[in-house]
Structure 1
Amino acid sequence: MRILFSDEKFFDIDGVYNSQNDRVWAVDRADADKYGGIKQKRKFPQKVIVWLGACSKGVTPLVILEKGTVDHAVYIEKMLPVALKYGNQVFGSDWTFQQDGATSHSHHLSQQWCRDNFPSFTDKDHWPGNSPDMNPLNYSIWSELVNAIDWNKVKSKTTLIQQLKSSVKKIRESVVFESCDSFTKRLCRICQNDGNYFR
């Protein structure tokens, strides 16, 4: 319960849509289209990268990048200091920082920054590279943020950023706490499943 999890996610002005998960069951194509079978997307939608941290005490301030990608230099300059400040504020000097295996995270300079600054952190050799079942942001909190956004108001990158900033405040504390609290149970289930995904 003293772990600060973190993750990045792309958001674009077309909203969140996953063609593998968002399905419409219908008798024919016309019926499917009537109930949302067609989802229009722009060829090159405006997008931002969002970084967020979460722990049993709540969520960090959002870090929003309007341009570019997250390399190790951006990660060290813009995101890690936010995590450090928040973790120290809510836990004092006894907590662990957790990141995934993204290239910017596993870069030797990022690892060194974490080693030098965080009271404790899980290094790149002790966390599975692709572990969505183990990060509360992936299995719960991002969905909470996505559902809090009023997508009808998102018309541009500016309105997307406004909605992200206002919607992060709507993430329910109970969801954050329960998501982080379930981490150890999920970890046990993954171990019982020999490291494989579970349903």
Structure 2
Amino acid sequence: MFTVDQAFNRRNDRVVVPKDEEAPPVMTTKHPAGVMVLGVVGSDGQKMPPHFFPCGLKINTEEYLKVLRRVVLPWIKATYPGQDVVWQQDSAPAHGANKTQKWQKTNMPKFWTKEVWPSSSPDLNPLDYAVWGELERHACATPHPSVEALKASILEAWANMSSNFVVKSCRIFRRRVEL
């Protein structure tokens, strides 16, 4: 999840002034607008274009399955035609739901079942421990005036992320699992 306003540490904002009235106000947004993004990467460096969920949408099993059917699976088939791709995802509730697992068994036969993914280990996913941080570092380097500006920055940072970075991030996965 990325937000329009950057989170700043106000303790780092120091101003020395003779009178309190001369200190510039520090304005923050209490509940900044944000976007939720689904990203998919391949261990060969391929990147599915980011999928932006509508603002305010709760990602439940039905919504997740819609995206798997309409966006992810077509991208996998187009990017890896005729190949047996191993689909791996973390243990988010929508990912581990029985309905999702059943659909994946039928449509993505080489997927990691919820039993294979180590419990309480979301940080094993290359997107979580490497890709999202890199994307945020570039896309959120400056505050955004709108959700559309944030989306544009995310798309640009995603497009500029090197396939070599994605490959290296995925290679680290095995070591992280074995720890």
* TM beyond 0.5: yes
**Secondary structure, counterpart of 2:5 in structure 1:** coil
- 1:87 aligns with 76
Partner of 1:6: none
Q: Mark the CA change 1:80 to 1:148 in structure 2 (over 3 Å): closer, same or farther.
A: farther
Bigger mean CA deviation after superposition, 85-94 or 63-72: 85-94
Instruction: Please point out which of 68, 72, 78 is paired with 2:61.
Output: 72
Q: Flag the 1:186–1:47 CA change in 2: closer, same or farther, 3 A.
A: same
Corresponding residue for residue 175 of structure 1: 165
Which moves more between the two structures, 132-141 or 81-90? 81-90
User: Residues 153, 16 of structure 1: CA spacing in aligned structure 2 closer, same or farther, 3 A cutoff?
Assistant: closer
Q: Does the alignment pair 1:50 with 2:37?
A: yes
Q: Secondary structure at the match of 1:59?
A: coil
Query: Do 1:54 and 1:176's aligned partners in 2 also have CA atoms closer than 8 Å?
Result: yes
Aligned to 1:160: 150
Contact 1:100 1:129 in 2 (8 A): no
What stretches of structure 2 of length at least 5 have no aligned partner? 16-25
Alpha-carbon distance change, 15 to 129 in structure 1, aligned in 2, over 3 angstroms: farther
Distance 2:38 2:110 in 1: 20
Q: Secondary structure at the match of 1:113?
A: helix
What's the CA shift for 1:151?
A: 4.1
* Inter-partner Cα distance in structure 2 for 1:99 and 1:45: 28
**Paired-residue identity, %:** 27
CA contact (8 A) 1:100 1:130 kept: no
Q: Secondary structure at the match of 1:128?
A: coil
- Does residue 131 (structure 1) correspond to residue 121 (structure 2)? The answer is yes
Q: Deviations over 1:35-74 (max 9, x none)?
A: 9xxx864211111110101122221111101321211111
Aligned residues, how many? Answer: 167
Q: Do residues 107 (structure 1) and 87 (structure 2) align?
A: no
What are the within-5 Å matches in structure 2 for residues 138-157 of structure 1?
Answer: 138-149=128-139, 151-152=141-142, 154-157=144-147
Partner of 1:62: 50
What SS does the corresponding residue of 1:98 show, helix, strand or coil? coil
Of Structure 1 and Structure 2, which has the larger fraction of its residues in strand? Answer: 1
Give the conservation status (yes or no) of the 8 Å contact 1:148–1:170: no
How far residue 158 of structure 1 moved from its aligned partner, in angstroms, is 1.4
Tell me which residue corresponds to 1:195: none
Per the normalisation by structure 2, the TM-score is 0.81
- Shifted more, 84-93 versus 177-186: the winner is 84-93
CA distance in 2 between partners of 1:182 and 1:50 (Å): 23
Rounded Cα–Cα distance in structure 1 between residues aligned with 2:119 and 2:90? 6
* Residue 34 (structure 1) aligned with residue 23 (structure 2): no
